Amino acid sequence: SQQGEEDPQALSIQEGENATMNCSYKTSINNLQWYRQNSGRGLVHLILIRSNEREKHSGRLRVTLDTSKKSSSLLITASRAADTASYFCATDERNFNKFYFGSGTKLNVKP
Amino acid sequence: DVKVTQSSRYLVKRTGEKVFLECVQDMDHENMFWYRQDPGLGLRLIYFSYDVKMKEKGDIPEGYSVSREKKERFSLILESASTNQTSMYLCASDRGDYGYTFGSGTRLTVV
């Protein structure tokens, strides 16, 4: 598979803890994105990080990108029950005009 | 906010039927995409379109076709529905640096 792959497949934490999800990919990219999907709904864009960026923040979200290791991580700090969702990374590695998605990490935040 | 509207949330069709899934975006985006989502397989790209009447095959185009007669509307057509096309179908519109905006999805069941 040439698209990004998330790890772990599932993660269960207590409210207030931090959640870290990882994404690995195989070839060079221009951009990497993270999305969130609530059960049975469409995906919502969270953050885009470019290949020349190492870190990006948005509220409680922190995304890092290590192009030498071909990996990215998404950190959600001080998690809330409302953060329960699936999280996907998407990379444009095969064609710079479109993005390919991984299988996602299912996050469960227990109240 | 950009809105992507998929005409149906749930559809049940019979094997062999011709099925139309409609997607409309309310901005002047050139790039639009159709994905299908299956458990454990993530999102797989079926077709995308980069302008009116312009289209390109994704990873799994077999059994599908698309139509883009107007910029705002991108239709996915199942020529002869089969049970292995039972899936969640997601349409997306490309906002460039702000990622994709997805519709809410159409859950199609072929019986």
Nearest Cα residue in chain B from A39: B104
**Count of CB contacts below 8 A, A vs B?**
52
Domains contained in chain B, number: 1
- What is the pLDDT, as a whole number, of residue B34? 97
Nearest Cα residue in chain A from B48: A98
Spatial contact of B16 and B81, defined as CB atoms under 8 Å apart: yes
Encode chain A (111 residues) as per-residue pLDDT tens digits.
456 788 899 999 999 999 999 999 988 889 999 999 998 888 999 999 999 999 999 999 999 999 999 999 999 999 999 999 999 999 987 666 788 898 899 999 999
How does residue B79 score in pLDDT terms, banded at 50, 70 and 90?
Answer: very high
With b for 16 or more beta-carbon neighbours within 10 A and e for fewer, the B6-33 pattern comes to beeeebebeeeeebebbbbbeeebebbb
- What is the pLDDT, as a whole number, of residue A1? 45
Choose among A30, A17, A43, A34: nearest CA to A72: A34
Interface test with B, best of A31, A36, A98, A105 (most B CBs within 10 A): A98
- What is the pLDDT, as a whole number, of residue B27? 85
Topology annotation, domain A5-110: Immunoglobulin-like (2.60.40)
Q: Which domain holds residue B64?
A: 4-106
Tokens for A87, please give them: 């999280």
- A22 HSE (CA, 13 A, CB side): 8
Cβ separation B102–A44 shorter than 8 A = yes
Cβ separation A42–B103 shorter than 8 A = yes
Look at residue B111 and tell me if it is in a domain: no
Spatial contact of A105 and A86, defined as CB atoms under 8 Å apart: yes
- Residue B85: what are its φ and ψ, rounded to 5°? -95, 5
Spatial contact of B72 and B32, defined as CB atoms under 8 Å apart: no
Q: In chain B, which residues have their Cβ closer than 8 Å to the Cβ of A96?
A: none
- The shortest C-alpha distance from B37 to chain A (Å) reads 9
User: Could you give the CA distance from residue B32 to residue B68 in angstroms, rounded to a whole number?
Assistant: 9
Give the residue extent of every domain in chain A. 5-110
Q: What is the CATH number of the domain that holds B47?
A: 2.60.40.10
User: Could you give the CA distance from residue A85 to residue B26 in angstroms, rounded to a whole number?
Assistant: 27
- The shortest C-alpha distance from A39 to chain B (Å) reads 11
List, for residues B12-71, the tens digit of each pLDDT value: 999 999 999 999 999 888 899 999 999 888 899 999 999 998 999 999 999 999 999 999
Residue B101 reports pLDDT greater than 90:
yes
Count of other CB atoms within 10 angstroms of residue B72: 17
Tokens for A35, please give them: 């999305």
